[in-house]
Amino acid sequence: MAAYETHDFDVLVIGAGGAGLRAAIAAADAGARTGLVCKSLLGKAHTVMAEGGVAAALGNVYPEDNWKVHFRDTMRGGKLLNNYRMAQIHAQEAPDRVLELEEWGAAFDRTPDGLILQRDFGGHRYARLAHVGDRTGLEMIRTLQHQTVQRPVEVFMECTALRLLKDGDRVSGAFGYWRQSGAFVLFRAKSVVLATGGVGKIYTITSNSWEYTGDGHAMALRAGADLIDMEFIQLHPTGMVWPPSVRGLLVTEGVRGDGGVLRNKDGARFMFDYVPEMFRSDTAETEEEADRWYTDHANNRRPPELLPRDEVARAINSEVRQGRGSPHGGVFLDVATRLPAAVIKKRLPSMYHQFMELAEVDITKEPMEVGPTAHYIMGGVRVDADTAASTVPGLYAVGEVAGGMQGANRLGGNSLSDLLVFGRRAGEAAAEYAAGLGSDPPAVNEEHAEAFARWALEPFEREEGENPYEVHEDLREAMQTNVGLVRNEDDMKKALKEIMVLQERADRVAVRGSRVYNPGWHTALDLHSLLTVAEVVTLAAIERKESRGAQTRDDYPGPDPEFAKVNVVVRLLGKDLVVKQEPIPVMPEDLKELVEQ
Amino acid sequence: MRVWRGDASGGDFVDYRVDAEEGEVVLDVLHRIQAQQANDLAIRWNCKAGKCGSCSAEVNGLPRLTCMTRMSTFEPGEDITVNPMRTFPIVKDLVTDVQFNYEMAKRVPPFRPQRRDPDGKYRLQQEDIERVQEFHKCIECFLCQDVCHVIRDHPENAEHFAGPRLFIRYAELEMHPLDTNDRSLLVQEKMGLGYCNITKCCTEVCPESIHITDNAIIPMKERVITKKYDPVTRLREKMRKRRLQLQAEGALPERTKLRRARALADTVRDGGSTGTGTD
């Protein structure tokens, strides 16, 4: 029998980025005994890399901004596939959550009047992103981290959750291991909040860190929850393309929000050639109008460089395919000829630093080379809009691991606000659910825990076997090549076949060394989440036979009105993944009017 | 590349022959060793972009982020040595136990803001917030803690020395225009600010170029001296903080607050002790 330690909580939060921290704060404030499981050290989660800002209709720069406009922009950006109720709650509550961060000590940049400054971003009608230069995520995670450690929240750093535990239909805890010692740990919990982030590590070119292996998506699926919209993976249009070692690293949309423009190898601002019908009336027709917009939003329309990310990523891809790209297979992002050097260093300090240190490019003098990079999954666990509850009693999901809020494409800045708004709601709802269980808490089946432990240790027992890093690399290649920016059924079926082979290889992985901080072992275990998520993404992408938002298919190049009415849902029945189309919630008339304005 | 391998019980450098490609950093090469030659090589890392501060180690003896140390800064064929941060206990290979920093962070008295303006907003000037923002750039790589000789050479000091990372945390709170808490004497008496003799090693290794010594530690030392040795300043400061705190808690109606503030100010001018209103 494998040994493990045991902990008891009312609410167990898995993941300690912005969403997990905000959920833990809310749960603790509601009086729940709260545990927080964090795959890395506290404060290192992916939120730390967020750059441009947090979207909230504070109206500090444009008083005409309000939640209704934010709601409209979010729905249009998501190609109307969003859960309207989530988008509504998000737009209504984001300002309060930002002001709360300020009250907790976050040092946002200021307007001349001393209020929180807001910057322009793609798809947002007004300057809406509260920010701290181009390192807003760091400010957010640190502020939330300080708030968390001041509360009675027990933090488990460098601890990975492997599986959720259930008692009948209900969640009863989670099972995982300490990275530092390799020892197993069992959490008995009345409710569990998943805040595990995304899945970027199924791709070769990604802005995501090693943590983004889809653990939460895979755990939820295995626990019986529905996953929706998994075909929608956002390619951020501007990742670094050179040198190879930093390929995919994020270049903030703030560069374009502050005046940077995209050019092809001939120096042309090609985005003017890629304005879709839906956004034509909002977009400038000439460079002169676009340039005037930065200082006068009222009398000019926005530059096409600030279209939503899916549009910009597709345009860049098209320019490169037609031979008008930059030397290393991207396009040019030019801020040097647009803003004085001092302003660039002030507004975009970490971009300046990143290019100087890693690419030897001075962005105040030369253009950057950029191209699309896998950045964010819109899809995730299907949740109730008001409480973030999944379809499994006691299981909640928030942030990137949850689906619905962002529809077919997320607007920049809407993730940091999503984390705060629904993090708080999930923490409160999970605490309330736990309190409501009273004398009927769910039980943990220790046999299940022991079975997970035996399974996790199998790679140590194999003398010879596959190298876990090689299996992972091959998966990333297969997904990058076959389920990338432009998809078709033949390629995706090829990917499914490769995933099957890789699953067999993953079952033959061998690990050397001890259980103490052994990254080979960690990778061997992560493979199972990665492969599961890759399969779900591919199945969902095949099912959606149209191009919409982040999904572009060359075998179905246009949108199909029938697919505008459905989410693709994937769930596990027995051992089989089942893919279904289910109707999206229908928007009430008053909200529909807002969207059509 | 020579990489230290081992655990708390001991270890040694192991040589790996490995190619580096154009534009790579030390962490890329460590990853290649890990993927191809030593699957169990322990490295802590996350963003690989200099933003999370996880991959700290000592490269050729210098405390560095391995993700921001380019291979092109070394001569072709040059031996490169990578060992874990020396100040912290070893977990395995390049991974150290940095729990000390998190324990010290828990002891920091929290941010306690003033009340909002009547319209529900805070108004702060950009130049005031910028002083705080410099310290908020900290990515908690703990290289400053690693290099600080007060704990590097004298581990016994760790019990009562918070270290440069925490000193900028105290400084950012003390200098925050909205904060009403007072931590300066705590920093001196319990957190070991006095141990720092301003050798600026921390400033030199900071990957975020925070002026730890000049902008945080020295101003904090000055504050402490003013508070500790000038009785009038000390009293006035206490009363100011108390007033702001009561205001923050909404404990005093506007008129009482004004009356009390005036009375306290008069007492200070008289040089006497109020006996009430201070803590």
Q: A150 vs B178: CB contact, 8 Å cut-off?
A: no
Query: Contact A138/B139, CB-based, under 8 Å?
Result: yes
CB pairs under 8 A between A and B: 167
Task: Say if residue B253 is in the same domain as residue B147.
Answer: no
| Residue A114 contacts B where some CB pair is shorter than 8 Å | yes
Q: Are B194 and B222 in contact (CB under 8 A)?
A: no
Which residues on chain A are in Cβ contact (under 8 Å) with B93?
A: 517
Residue B275 has pLDDT above 60, yes or no: no
Question: Residue B40 and residue A520: Cβ atoms within 8 Å?
Answer: yes
Cβ contacts of B133 on chain A, cutoff 8 Å: 107, 132-133
Question: Residue A90: what are its φ and ψ, rounded to 5°?
Answer: -60, -50
A519 → closest Cβ in B43, B120, B123:
B43
Summary mean pLDDT of chain A: 96
Quick one: pLDDT at residue B227? 76
Task: For residue A289, give the H/E element and its range.
Answer: helix A287-293
Contacts of A209 in chain B (CB under 8 A): 45-48, 52
Res. B277: pLDDT tops 50: no
pLDDT for the residue numbered B251: 60
With beta carbons under 8 A apart, name residues in chain A contacting B50: 350, 353-354, 357-358
A-chain residues within 8 Å CB-CB of B116? 103
- Closest Cα of chain A to B255: distance in Å? 25
Which chain A residues contact residue B122 at CB under 8 A?
A: 102-103, 114
Residue B253 clears pLDDT 60, i.e. is over it: no
The answer, for B28 touching chain A at a CB cutoff of 8 Å, is yes
pLDDT in tens, B95-153: 999 999 999 999 999 999 999 999 999 999 999 999 999 999 999 999 999 999 999 99
The pLDDT, as a whole number, for residue A16 is: 98
Looking at residue B259, its pLDDT comes to 52
Residues B85 and B201 grouped into a single domain: no
* Cα(B202)–Cα(B196) distance, integer angstroms: 11
Q: Are residues B149 and B179 in the same domain?
A: yes
Question: Do B110 and A514 count as a contact with CB atoms less than 8 A apart?
Answer: no
Would residue B191 count as lying in a domain?
A: yes
Q: What does each C-alpha distance from B68 to A25, A453, B30, B210 come to in angstroms? A: 33, 37, 13, 16
CB distance from B7 to chain A under 8 Å?
Answer: yes
B58 and B45 within one domain: yes
- Tally the domains of chain B: 3
On whether residue B276 sits in a domain, the answer given is: no
Quote the DSSP letter at residue A448: H
Is the pLDDT at B246 greater than 90, yes or no? Answer: no
**pLDDT tens, residue by residue, A370-398:** 999 999 999 999 999 999 999 999 999 99
Sketch the domain layout of chain A as residue ranges. 236-374, 446-583
Residues of A with catalytic roles: 236, 256
Mean pLDDT across chain B, nearest whole number? 87
Interchain contact A473–B (C-beta under 8 A): yes
Residue A113 contacts B where some CB pair is shorter than 8 Å? yes
What is the sign of the dihedral through the CA atoms of A122, A128, A134 and A139?
Answer: negative
Q: Domain A236-374 belongs to what topology?
A: Flavocytochrome C3; Chain A, domain 1 (3.90.700)
Q: Which helix (H) or strand (E) holds A424?
A: helix A414-436
**Half-sphere exposure at residue B199, Cβ-oriented, CA atoms within 13 angstroms:** 11
pLDDT at position A597 = 82
Judged by CB atoms closer than 8 Å, whether chains meet at A516 and B52 is answered as no
Evaluated on CA atoms A376, A378, A384, A389, the torsion sign reads negative
What pLDDT does residue A1 have?
57
Asked if the Cβ–Cβ distance from B35 to A473 is below 8 Å, we say yes
**Residue written as token pair 């943990």:** A444
Separation of alpha carbons A245 and A359, rounded Å: 10
Q: Is A519 on the interface with B (CB under 8 A)?
A: yes
10 Å Cβ neighbour count for B119?
Answer: 6
> For residue B228, what pLDDT is reported?
75
- Whether the pLDDT of residue B236 is over 90: the answer is no
- Of the pLDDT bands very low, low, confident and very high (cuts 50, 70, 90), residue B77 is confident
Q: Which residue of B has its CA nearest to A41?
A: B54
Distance between CA atoms of residues A99 and A285, nearest Å: 37
ipTM for this prediction: 0.94
Q: What is the Cα A21 distance to its own chain's centre?
A: 16
In terms of Cα–Cα distance, which of A36, A18, A19, A39 is closest to A211? A39
Any domain includes B57: yes
Q: What is the pLDDT of residue B138?
A: 97
Is the CB of A150 less than 8 angstroms away from the CB of B136? no
Q: What is the DSSP string of A230-252?
A: TT-EEEEEEEE-SSGGGTT-B--
User: Out of A42, A133, A518, whose CB is closest to B40?
Assistant: A518
Collect all residues of chain A within an 8 Å Cβ-Cβ radius of residue B98. Answer: 41
Interface of B with A in 123-182 (CB under 8 A): 123-126, 129, 132-133, 136-140, 173, 176, 178-179
Element (H or E) spanning A581, and its range? Answer: strand A576-583
The CA-based dihedral angle spanning residues B267, B271, B275, B279, taken in that order and rounded to the nearest 10 degrees: 100
With respect to residue B279, please indicate whether it lies within any of the assigned structural domains. no
Angle at A290 between CA A289 and CA A293, to 5 degrees: 85
> CB–CB of B68 and A357 under 8 A?
yes
pLDDT tens, residue by residue, A503-528: 999 999 999 999 999 999 999 999 99
Phi, psi of B112 (to 5 degrees): -130, 105
* B216 & B185 share domain: yes
Contacts of A353 in chain B (CB under 8 A): 50
Task: Report the residue of chain A nearest B112, measured CA to CA.
Answer: A104
pLDDT tens, position by position, A29-39: 999 999 999 99
Q: Does the CB of B215 have a partner CB in chain A at under 8 Å?
A: no
Asked if residue B179 and residue B263 are part of one domain, the reply reads no
Distance CA(A136)–CA(A158), nearest Å, equals 24
Residues B252 and B171 in one domain: no
Q: Which residues in chain B have Cβ-Cβ distances shorter than 8 Å to A142? A: 136, 138
Strand (E) or helix (H) holding A313: helix A309-321
Euclidean distance between CA atoms A462 and A376, whole angstroms: 36
Q: pLDDT (tens digit, 9 = 90+) per residue, A455-507?
A: 999 999 998 999 999 999 999 999 999 999 999 999 999 999 999 999 999 99
Looking only at the bridges linking them, the beta strands covering A261-263 and B2-7 are unpaired
Q: Is residue B275 part of a domain?
A: no
SS3 A582: strand
Asked if B164 and B175 sit in the same domain, the reply is yes
Proportion of chain B above pLDDT 70, given as a percent: 87
Strand partners, B165: none
Rg (C-alpha) for chain B, rounded Å, is 24
Residues A269, A262 contacting (CB under 8 angstroms): yes
A305 closest CA partner among A316, A297, A296: A316
**pLDDT score recorded for residue B235:** 73
Nearest to A357 among B50, B116, B173 (CB): B50
> Is the CB of B47 less than 8 angstroms away from the CB of A48?
yes
**Which candidate from A105, A113, A357 shows the least CB-CB separation from B176?**
A105
pTM: 0.93
CA distance B243 to A155: 35
Model confidence band, residue B76 (pLDDT cutoffs 50, 70, 90): confident
Test the A interface: residue of B5, B106, B136, B208 with most A CBs within 10 Å: B136
Buried/exposed A448-471: b ≥16 CB within 10 Å, e otherwise: bbbebbeebbebbeeeebbbbbeb
**Are B177 and B149 within one domain?**
yes
> Does the pLDDT value for residue A530 go beyond 70?
yes
A353/B contact by beta carbon, under 8 A:
yes
Q: How far is B46 from chain A (nearest CA, A)?
A: 5
Question: Are B219 and B157 found together in one domain?
Answer: yes
Q: What are B77's two structure tokens?
A: 């064929």
Q: How far is B25 from chain A (nearest CA, A)?
A: 8
What single letter denotes the amino acid at residue A339? Answer: L
Using a CB-CB cut-off of 8 Å, the residues of chain B touching A15 are none
Q: Do A49 and B52 touch (CB under 8 A)?
A: yes
pLDDT at A591: 97
Report the residue of chain A nearest B73, measured CA to CA: A357
Looking at domain A446-583, its CATH class is mainly alpha
Q: Does B50 touch chain A (CB under 8 A)?
A: yes
- When pLDDT is cut at 50, 70 and 90, the band that residue B255 belongs to is very low
- A177 by DSSP, 3-state: which? strand
B182 with B122, same domain: the answer is yes
B36: which chain A residues are within 8 Å (Cβ-Cβ)?
A: 469
Instruction: Spell A14-36 as b/e; 16+ CB within 10 A means b.
Output: bbbbbbbbbbbbbbbebebbbbb
Mean pLDDT confidence for A525-552: 97
A322 secondary structure, DSSP code:
T
Quick one: pLDDT at residue A421?
Answer: 98
CB contacts of A354 in chain B (<8 Å) are 49-50
Q: Which of residues 35-54 of A touch B (CB under 8 A)?
A: 40-46, 48-49
Min Cα separation B210/chain A (Å): 13
Nearest-Cα distance to chain B for A438, in Å, is 32
Interface probe for B, chosen from A98, A131, A181, A357 (most Cβ of B below 10 Å), is: A357
Q: Using DSSP bridges, classify how beta strands A4-14 and A34-38 pair: parallel, antiparallel or unpaired.
A: parallel
Cα atoms found within 13 Å of the Cα of residue B33, Cβ hemisphere only: 22
**pLDDT score at B243:** 76
Q: Which domain covers residue B213, as residue numbers?
A: 99-229
Q: What is the pLDDT of residue B30?
A: 97
Q: Which of B67, B96, B125 is the last residue of a domain?
A: B96
pLDDT tens digit string along A260-309?
A: 999 999 999 999 999 999 899 999 999 999 999 998 988 999 999 999 99
Please judge whether B35 and A48 are an interchain contact, meaning their C-beta atoms are less than 8 angstroms apart.
no
- SS3 labels along chain B: CEEEEEECCEEEEEECCCCCCCCCEHHHHHHHHHHHCCCCCCCCCCCCCCCCCCCEEEECCEEEEHHHCEHHHCCCCCCCEEECCCCCCEEECCEECCHHHHHHHHCCCCCCECCCCCCCCCCCCHHHHHHHHHHHCCCCCCHHHHHCHHHHCCHHHHHHCCCHHHHHHHHHHHCCCCECCCCHHHHHHCCCHHHCCCCCHHHHHCCCCCCHHHHHHHHHHHHHHHHHHCHHHHHHHHHHHHHHHHHHCCCCCHHHHHHHHHHHHHHHHHCCCCCCCCC
Mind telling me how many Å the CA of B213 is from chain A's nearest CA?
Answer: 21
Q: How many CB atoms lie within 10 A of CB B211?
A: 16
Residue reference for tokens 């943590």? A211
**Among A553, A482, A242, residue whose Cα is nearest residue A371:** A242
Nearest CA in chain A to B65: A357
**pLDDT-derived band at B272, boundaries 50, 70, 90:** very low
Q: Average pLDDT, stretch B10-15?
A: 97
CB contact under 8 A, A512 and B93: no
Interatomic CA distance for residues B216 and B163, integer angstroms: 12
